A and B are shown apart, each in its own frame.
Chain A
Amino acid sequence: MTAAAYGNLFSILWPESILEIVSLVILVVDLGWMRGETTATRMRVASLLGSIGAVLSFAWLEMHVGIASVMGGALVSSPTVVAAQSCILILTTLVLLLGLSVRFTRNPGEYVALVLLATTGMMLVAAARDLLIIFVALEMLSLSLYVLAAFAKDSAASAEAALKYYLFGGMSAAFMLFGFSYLYGLTGTTSLSAIAASLAIAPLTPLALVALVLAAVGLGFKVAAVPFHLWAPDTYLGAPAPVAALIASGSKVASFAVLIAVTAALVPAWGWTATLLCMAAASIVLGNLSALVQSSVRRILACSAIAHAGYMLLGIAAHTLAGDQSVMTYAVTYALTTVGAFGVVAIVERSAGSDRLDAFAGLSARSPLLAATLLVFLLSLAGIPPLVGFWVKFQMFAAVLRAPLASGWGLGLVMLAIAGSAVSLYYYLQVLKRAYVTPAVISAPLKVTRLELFLLVAIAVAVVLLGIFPDMLMQWIPAV
């Protein structure tokens, strides 16, 4: 790594830089000119500015699709990376806009600025191909999210969620860094490609196994895979709805993107696939089972997130081009659907003051369109055709079954995953049953702003359309 490369950094870091600048601008605007305005106005202005920043960044990305790398391959840009980053930006925009009328903070400028910082972290994570950069980017992301999770300062649950998230995250980050240092010690390099080359020829030592498992802790924490998942239900439950949506969506996309890259480096070592598979199987079983008894929709979404992480880990462990592509499409569509589901949850919460299953009773009578979008989201999560959730699941399981690496375990684990999805239908339908069958406790129509409804319907339409025309997705996220 030489100092001369700093000038080149900008050649691929413009999108991140734009976000940074915009976040500073937001702080200035919000704490400067907007100080006298109401919180709602400030929220609107800040979110709008944040969305503009994300759109600008998105535009730059889409105009510069290509293959580039700086700092000796520590940071790269390729069509796949750009697709992941674009998706993260879209998700951030959706989260910002859907969070417009969620009241949880008196400091909107700081909230939006932190969201943008977290987004920057996500984008860096997706692009990083060097252990150190990965760690720094992950920490940048995590630290922003810790603060964001605590942002509802009046709410004890929010503080609790943030604290648990922070403690858990801090500890796993420590483990991961420890593991990374072993890896560096074993291979003498922090570059993923060099590590791959080195591991491929070196014999497996117990130390290497330790390094692998330790590295898996940090990444497993980010994707909420068992046994590093315990923070998820509490954090999803306590964090403000937009923040929970961000944790569940953009952060997941970024983490899976980097997990794919790390897998490419570590898969030559024997234990990595096994580690992934253990985590995957445990996640599928535990995630789906613990979702069965939840009475809070946010916790259901958290437990289902664990299960989905398990499915995706299978795709990652298969380690083929098609498998990686299917994991990315899965992560992207899962994130999109989850943002939509959290949007609905936030609206219901605003009216009922709780996200318990009962709060959803009679949703279809109170707001038919909203209930319809929820139907689309949850059925897509459950993998019902023709929604996109079915298609990506099918694509990923097919890729796993075809993978040469998966000849020993593919069929068994895919069957486990399919059984898990069957179980998952139960708890998704529990929510939908409340929405469609149970009579409403409160019969007043739900207050939904036009923007929220428009965004949710747009997401639902996208979920349906992508399911019918999956080629659009495959073209957007190329297999390389």
Chain B
Amino acid sequence: MTALQMATIASPDSASVAWIVRSLWLIPAVPMAAAGLIALLPQPRRRPAAMLAVGSLAVSFLLAVTAFAHVLLHWSSGAATRETVSVDWLSLGSSTLQMGWVLDPLAAIMLVMVTFVGSLIFIYSIGYMSHDENFTRFFCFLALFAGGMLGVLIANSLLLLFMCWEIVGLTSYLLIGFWYQKPSAAAAAKKAFLTTRVGDIFFLLGMVWLFAQTGTLLFYNHGAGAMEPAALAVLLSQHAAWGLSAAGAIGLLIFAGAAGKSGQLPLHVWLPDAMEGPTPVSALIHAATMVAAGVYLVARVYPLMSAGAGAGTTTVPLTVVAWIGATTALFGALVAVAQFDIKRILAYSTVSQLGYMMVGLATGGVAVGMFHLITHAFFKALLFLGAGSVIHGCHEEQDIRRMGGLRSDMPLTFATYTVGMLALSGFPILFSGFWSKDAIVGAAHHWPVSQGPFWMLLIGALLTAFYMMRQVGYVFLGRWRGHGHAHESAAVMTVPLAVLAFFAMALGLLGTPAWPWFTAFLESRPLAFDFAGFGEPGLLPLMAATSLLVLLALGVGWRLYVTKANDSDADPDVLQTASPTVFRWLESRLYFDELYGATFLRAYALCAAFAAWLDRRLWGGLVALVADGFQALGQWNKSVDGQWIDGGFDKGCEELTTAGGVLAWLQTGRAPGYLRTLALGLLLLLLGLMVVASTLGQVKL
């Protein structure tokens, strides 16, 4: 498939736009307002803060469901499924900058997912953060995040999207560094903020370029938007450097922003460190929603990315996306194999799965990538919340070597976690991850450019199943290797787990080849139930092959980490014993951080040192010289000031006051004097006028 068939573009009059479309802005506005209100609450008011946050997101959820139903209704009736509302924002000379929001299947489905998963995680956070003294602050940030994220989803303008995108980045920073008293958390927050900023700069450049070329930042505007054929044709005809069209170059720049947010190579380094934040934050922001914003952005600007692609060919941006995505997918899976921190494993898994989504977008189109985004959001949120429950139950322990055998102590967590793990691994038929990942692998297989990504994804899939089995083996099976006693978490935490587990399984039904509801909905095509969908050439063998791979990896994992489970937390990992060097490389994340430290940061530090040297020696000397000169001047000035200016000012003030005094003295209080003044004033006025009038020749005396 070359481009998303956006054939159905609504062009409703503003009057005929449905209530829900006109009020779509309420969805982000409600949590943002709640964030503002919570910010005003004093710190000890926990209940109202939590109620406000959860309540506001629940309201947003209801609105999102209404919007979803609205789109669904339009789809089933064959009407246009994309509706936009634009408002003039500000005028720049003769041109007007517009912003607005869009409701289409893509936005609708994301809105429902984010509000739903968000609500669950908000509820879960009430339990998880119950002992934290900054409870209200946490919910304030969380609600602000939700507002920003929902703003990203409904934005119909690249600028509005960017602004919400930055709000999301800010809250991410604030929440990663939520326990800022921990130096590692503060550093991680800074790292996340700065790394994503690198991507954002490119994003901003792309945006400015787009505006310069098309004069609009609206995505869809009844034919005049930047994602619509007229503007795309203009962009395609403009040539940038290296044989790229403007469309291609802008697409690449925007993808750089998406890569920063979505932790794609080489900007992935912040995401694992971001796990320093509270676990619900990891689940909501750094697994389910914010990191997916990059994927969503690519999906949003997909017409731009794919502009110029014909049958059997693709575009430069999409090729780049595919390769980067595939590399990231493989890299993340590799590194995840050798981690010991329960959340870091999941973090690298997230990096890897985001790579899958990117490949899905690049090779299969919006629907393929987005389907994995949605299913991943559910099962990864589930896994993170499960991990949170484990951490909570094991008294803030995060090292999987010091866990084990938790299945009996935490049966609910174990059951739901297993569901999540199987979904992530892509366990056949029953779990949503199987269908969404298989669609991506299939799309990569049919990619006309290269088979490289396909093989990388296959290896990635194998590794994914393996490291998840390894993690479950370490944490839930085997023998307890930690200290103290683990306990199951409260219902406020386990119920969201159960709900998410249900969806981790059920969502797969929406995207089977026989009933591709998701694809049809997203592309606004009619939908039919047809087993012939499985009959596509090569589909069934591929499914069988991936299933076999997954089962194989699970089996190997079981053999290595369950049957031969370690007895003590000091025992080395099986792989560590087998190949210490490779393991060390993987454990150290292929030394990416060190590489950046040795290159970029070192270069930066050198520049800084040089600048400091210049500052101290060269400029410092000059400045000292100038300063001395000015000091001398100042001394002189001071004397002048003291003698003349100050004196003058004081004198002036004195004069003013004296003048007032004189005037007040005129006000003697004696009536005859008053009357004399009146007559005198009259005469003076008359005399003055006469003189002036006669000099001007106005009057002849």
Task: Tell yes or no: A293 within 8 A of B by CB.
Answer: yes
**Which one of B669, B678, B688 contacts A228 once the chains associate, using CB atoms below 8 Å?**
B678
**Which one of B667, B669, B685, B698 contacts A213 once the chains associate, using CB atoms below 8 Å?**
B685
Contact, CB under 8 Å: B660 / A164: no
Give the docked Cα–Cα distance between A288 and B639 (Å). 33
Task: Tell yes or no: B241 within 8 A of A by CB.
Answer: no
**Which one of B656, B674, B689 contacts A289 once the chains associate, using CB atoms below 8 Å?**
B656
For this complex, 5 residue pairs linking A to B, each with C-beta atoms less than 8 Å apart, are: A217-B678, A227-B678, A230-B667, A275-B685, A292-B656
Interface string of A21-51 (1 = CB under 8 A from B): 0000000000000000000000000000000
Given contacts A204-B693, A271-B689, are A290 and B677 in contact (CB under 8 A)?
Answer: no
Q: Given A227-B680, A274-B692, A286-B663, list of 13 further CB < 8 A pairs? A: A168-B671, A168-B674, A204-B693, A209-B689, A209-B699, A213-B682, A213-B689, A234-B667, A290-B663, A292-B656, A293-B660, A293-B661, A423-B656
Least distance between B650 CB and chain A CB atoms (Å): 15
Task: Tell yes or no: B675 within 8 A of A by CB.
Answer: yes
User: For A172, A214, A286, A293, which residue has the most chain B Cβ atoms within 10 angstroms?
Assistant: A293
**Which one of A163, A227, A292, A294 contacts B685 once the chains associate, using CB atoms below 8 Å?**
A227
Given contacts A227-B684, A227-B685, A230-B674, are A206 and B664 in contact (CB under 8 A)?
Answer: no
Task: Tell yes or no: A231 within 8 A of B by CB.
Answer: yes
Which residue of chain A has the shortest Cβ distance to B677 in the bound complex?
A230
Give the docked Cα–Cα distance between A163 and B675 (Å). 12
Task: Tell yes or no: B701 within 8 A of A by CB.
Answer: yes
Task: Tell yes or no: B634 within 8 A of A by CB.
Answer: no
Give the docked Cα–Cα distance between A274 and B691 (Å). 12
Give the docked Cα–Cα distance between A172 and B678 (Å). 8
| B572 contact set on A, CB distance < 8 A | none
**Which one of A205, A209, A233 contacts B686 once the chains associate, using CB atoms below 8 Å?**
A209
Give the docked Cα–Cα distance between A286 and B662 (Å). 10
Contact, CB under 8 Å: B671 / A206: no
- Judged by DSSP, the binding face of A is helix
Contact, CB under 8 Å: A167 / B671: yes
| A208 contact set on B, CB distance < 8 A | 699
Contact, CB under 8 Å: A204 / B699: yes
Contact, CB under 8 Å: B682 / A293: no
Interfacial residues of chain A within 162-194, with CB under 8 A of chain B in the complex: 163-164, 167-168, 171-172, 175
Least distance between B654 CB and chain A CB atoms (Å): 11
| A206 contact set on B, CB distance < 8 A | 690, 699, 701
Task: Tell yes or no: B599 within 8 A of A by CB.
Answer: no
Contact, CB under 8 Å: B667 / A209: no
| B568 contact set on A, CB distance < 8 A | none
Least distance between B328 CB and chain A CB atoms (Å): 53
Interface string of B295-310 (1 = CB under 8 A from A): 0000000000000000
Task: Tell yes or no: A278 within 8 A of B by CB.
Answer: yes
**Which one of A164, A205, A228, A289 contacts B681 once the chains associate, using CB atoms below 8 Å?**
A228
Interface string of A207-245 (1 = CB under 8 A from B): 011101110110000000011101101100000000000
| B656 contact set on A, CB distance < 8 A | 289, 292, 423
Give the docked Cα–Cα distance between A417 and B631 (Å). 39
| B699 contact set on A, CB distance < 8 A | 204-206, 208-209, 270
Give the docked Cα–Cα distance between A379 and B689 (Å). 37
Given contacts A204-B698, A293-B660, are A274 and B667 in contact (CB under 8 A)?
Answer: no
Task: Tell yes or no: B542 within 8 A of A by CB.
Answer: no
Give the docked Cα–Cα distance between A278 and B689 (Å). 9
Interfacial residues of chain A within 229-277, with CB under 8 A of chain B in the complex: 230-231, 233-234, 270-271, 274-275
Contact, CB under 8 Å: B664 / A294: yes
Give the docked Cα–Cα distance between A270 and B701 (Å). 15
Given contacts A163-B671, A231-B674, are A214 and B689 in contact (CB under 8 A)?
Answer: no
Give the docked Cα–Cα distance between A292 and B692 (Å). 32
| A167 contact set on B, CB distance < 8 A | 671, 674-675
Which residue of chain B has the shortest Cβ distance to A228 in the bound complex?
B678
| A234 contact set on B, CB distance < 8 A | 667, 669
Given contacts A168-B674, A231-B674, are A290 and B685 in contact (CB under 8 A)?
Answer: no
Least distance between B658 CB and chain A CB atoms (Å): 9
| B684 contact set on A, CB distance < 8 A | 227
Task: Tell yes or no: A291 within 8 A of B by CB.
Answer: yes
Contact, CB under 8 Å: B689 / A274: yes
Given contacts A168-B674, A292-B656, are A233 and B667 in contact (CB under 8 A)?
Answer: yes
Contact, CB under 8 Å: B671 / A227: no
Interface string of A300-343 (1 = CB under 8 A from B): 00000000000000000000000000000000000000000000
Which residue of chain B has the shortest Cβ distance to A221 in the bound complex?
B678
Contact, CB under 8 Å: A227 / B692: no
Task: Tell yes or no: B595 within 8 A of A by CB.
Answer: no
Contact, CB under 8 Å: B677 / A227: yes
Give the docked Cα–Cα distance between A204 and B684 (Å). 19
Q: Hey, which bits of chain A sit against chain B, CB under 8 A?
A: 160, 163-164, 167-168, 171-172, 175, 204-206, 208-210, 212-214, 216-217, 226-228, 230-231, 233-234, 270-271, 274-275, 278-279, 286, 289-294, 423
Contact, CB under 8 Å: B663 / A289: yes
Which residue of chain A has the shortest Cβ distance to B683 in the bound complex?
A213
| A423 contact set on B, CB distance < 8 A | 656
Least distance between A306 CB and chain B CB atoms (Å): 10
Contact, CB under 8 Å: A271 / B693: yes
Contact, CB under 8 Å: A230 / B678: yes
Give the docked Cα–Cα distance between A322 and B405 (Å). 86
Task: Tell yes or no: B606 within 8 A of A by CB.
Answer: no
Give the docked Cα–Cα distance between A228 and B674 (Å). 9
Task: Tell yes or no: B408 within 8 A of A by CB.
Answer: no
**Which one of B660, B669, B671, B675 contacts A291 once the chains associate, using CB atoms below 8 Å?**
B660
Least distance between B674 CB and chain A CB atoms (Å): 4
| B685 contact set on A, CB distance < 8 A | 213, 216, 227, 275, 278-279
| A168 contact set on B, CB distance < 8 A | 671, 674-675, 678
Given contacts A204-B698, A213-B689, are A171 and B660 in contact (CB under 8 A)?
Answer: no
Contact, CB under 8 Å: A164 / B701: no
Least distance between B388 CB and chain A CB atoms (Å): 49
Give the docked Cα–Cα distance between A294 and B667 (Å). 11
**Which one of B660, B671, B688 contacts A292 once the chains associate, using CB atoms below 8 Å?**
B660
Give the docked Cα–Cα distance between A113 and B677 (Å). 34
Task: Tell yes or no: B645 within 8 A of A by CB.
Answer: no
**Which one of A163, A171, A210 contacts B678 once the chains associate, using CB atoms below 8 Å?**
A171
| B688 contact set on A, CB distance < 8 A | 278
Least distance between A200 CB and chain B CB atoms (Å): 14
| A233 contact set on B, CB distance < 8 A | 667
**Which one of A160, A171, A279 contacts B675 once the chains associate, using CB atoms below 8 Å?**
A171
Given contacts A206-B699, A213-B689, are A290 and B682 in contact (CB under 8 A)?
Answer: no
Least distance between A215 CB and chain B CB atoms (Å): 11
Give the docked Cα–Cα distance between A140 and B659 (Å). 37
Task: Tell yes or no: B134 within 8 A of A by CB.
Answer: no
Given contacts A164-B674, A231-B674, A274-B689, are A293 and B664 in contact (CB under 8 A)?
Answer: yes
Give the docked Cα–Cα distance between A116 and B677 (Å). 32
Contact, CB under 8 Å: B681 / A227: yes
Nearest 6 A/B pairs, CB to CB: A227-B681, A290-B663, A293-B660, A292-B660, A230-B674, A289-B660
Contact, CB under 8 Å: A270 / B698: yes
| B659 contact set on A, CB distance < 8 A | 289
Least distance between A424 CB and chain B CB atoms (Å): 12
Given contacts A209-B686, A228-B678, A275-B689, are A164 and B671 in contact (CB under 8 A)?
Answer: yes
Interfacial residues of chain B within 435-494, with CB under 8 A of chain A in the complex: none
**Which one of B660, B669, B679, B681 contacts A226 once the chains associate, using CB atoms below 8 Å?**
B681
Give the docked Cα–Cα distance between A172 and B667 (Å). 18
Task: Tell yes or no: B637 within 8 A of A by CB.
Answer: no
Which residue of chain B has the shortest Cβ distance to A274 in the bound complex?
B689
Task: Tell yes or no: B5 within 8 A of A by CB.
Answer: no
Least distance between B374 CB and chain A CB atoms (Å): 47
Least distance between B379 CB and chain A CB atoms (Å): 53
Least distance between A246 CB and chain B CB atoms (Å): 22
Task: Tell yes or no: B635 within 8 A of A by CB.
Answer: no
Least distance between B59 CB and chain A CB atoms (Å): 31
